[in-house]
Amino acid sequence: MEKIKSWLLKETRETKALLQSIPALTMVLFVLSVIGMNLLANKSIDLGVNWLALDAGMLLSWLSFLTMDVTVKRFGPKASIKLSFVAAFINLLLALIFFAASKIPGVWGESFVPEGGELINTALDNTFGGTWYVVTGSTIAFLASSVVNNVTNWGIGKLFKRNNFGVFAARSYISTMIGQFVDNFLFAIIVSHNFFGWSMLQCITCSLTGMVFELACEMVFSPIGYRISRKWEREKIGEDYIRMLNETQPQDEDETCNKNAPSSDIEDDRGEEESQNGAETSLQTDEKIACENKSASEGQAERENGVENEAACDLERNEDGNGDQTDANA
């Protein structure tokens, strides 16, 4: 129980620090894109063919994924997943408010027409009030796709050491492609297939077509996302949150936290520092070896001198002994 309580307190502190670190405009755009794409998903786009179906939610869903990609690059996948849950919670809260508003007696402005006003009013109530399966399906699809997108983005980023637009584009495009397909397909299966009568072919084609369109949108706007991420790195946005992770997580996760915000300048400084440390270590090792060799040489020289001195002393003693014996014989 104590471990659970400690974990909850730690996660609460980290989430609070994260929400304080994320720029307000970024968070606002992220939440609005989540709310807007779920609301626009109520409208199907007529493409004139039976095997293809799309909804208007794809007009905003790319913004959610681009925001997540920028967040992952700076703060890591865990932070981006937390923001996704926060956005989903706000969306559910707003859906509840819309539902309450749809049940309040009254008429919408668009229903003031000579004929069919009641039908229009009912249609607007149903659109904004929503239904439980649309809200449930969209929430499940969004949260699942956000986890897939964020983890995939982070995993691809770890394969590269460079920090340039090419790497950002590679990790963003691939993760968005996979995440968008998961989002579209889950929503189509849970909602459209079961409640709107879509065929399985329509679900698959909708998922693929929506993925292509949303990926194209991200390709257009990804340079802006890259510049934003670099600006966050230069201005050290979220430094307190990253420092908190480094202080609270174990050593094996500490390295991961340090990579949450890899700027090229930081990496270059870190690489230069490591090179200097390596050079100093190598120099110290060489000096140590030289000292050991010198000591060994001096010791060998002393031993050789000692042997020579001992030999000279023996020679002198032999000569003295021979001289004494000669005198005795005489």
Strands (E), the chain: 44-45, 54-55
pLDDT (0 to 100) of residue 328: 40
Q: Judge whether 316 lies within some domain.
A: yes
Residue 214 pLDDT more than 70? Answer: yes
Residue ranges making up the domain that contains 82: 23-237
Domain end residue (candidates: 219, 237, 255): 237
Quote the CA–CA distance of 130 and 102 in Å, as a whole number.
9
pLDDT (0 to 100) of residue 196: 78
Q: Are residues 218 and 125 in the same domain?
A: yes
pLDDT (0 to 100) of residue 314: 54
Read off the tokens for 1.
Answer: 């129980």
Q: Are residues 233 and 287 in the same domain?
A: no
Q: Are residues 232 and 302 in the same domain?
A: no
Q: What is the average pLDDT across 5-25? A: 91
Q: Judge whether 16 lies within some domain.
A: no
Q: Judge whether 306 lies within some domain.
A: yes
Among the ranges given (60-69, 306-315, 317-326), the one the predictor scored with the smallest mean pLDDT: 317-326
pLDDT (0 to 100) of residue 274: 52
The domain tally of the chain equals: 2
Query: Which of the pair, 21 or 306, is modelled with greater confidence?
Result: 21
Please give the radius of gyration of the chain, using alpha carbons only, rounded to the nearest integer. 36
In this predicted model, what pLDDT tens digit does every residue of 152-182 receive, in sequence order?
A: 999 999 999 888 999 999 999 999 999 999 9
CB-count exposure of residue 271 (10 Å: 0-12, 13-18, 19+): exposed
Q: What is the average pLDDT across 285-289? A: 55
Query: Which of the pair, 65 or 251, is modelled with greater confidence?
Result: 65
pTM (two decimals): 0.71
pLDDT (0 to 100) of residue 32: 93
